[in-house]
Amino acid sequence: MTEVLFYHLQEQPIEKVLPNLLERSLERGWRAVVQASSEDRVDALDAHLWTFSDDSFLPHGTDREATAAEQPVVLTVREHNPNGASVRFLIDGAPVPADAASYQRLVLLFDGDDPEAVAAARERWTAAKAQGFEVTYWQTDERGRWQRKG
């Protein structure tokens, strides 16, 4: 069954949270696809994932590259799965793909300080539950650690 995880971002930008979640996915042996809402965002994340840490990098590519199928992480704006990923990250309000049930896990990251993003996340939560997906909600505690809230 597909798990759908909702990450409520507050006081932490996606540029800080996403690389850590991607690293954990790769440690589990999963391939990942990250769906953004614009090519500009894909380009910015592409550059960021090479430089986000002084002591490591995150192997990845975009779906525009000829080697996308070989990449452990692929960045895209489209609703496809170019690298056979088992986990899909949706950022910036990217839509839930029609083939959502084919993933082991969907991770929706949303800006908790944006009322529209929060409202959209609530709608997606309701829709995911109605489809029979296992849903969980994650938020940071006062020390900045992720805590499961629901």
| CATH number, position 57 | 3.40.50.10110
Distance CA 14, CA 146 (A): 14
The predicted-structure confidence for 91-135, as pLDDT tens digits, reads as follows 999 999 999 999 999 999 999 999 999 999 999 999 999 999 999
Domain that holds residue 122: 3-148
Total domain count for the chain?
1
Distance CA 3, CA 116 (A): 23
The predicted model gives 134-140 an average pLDDT of 93
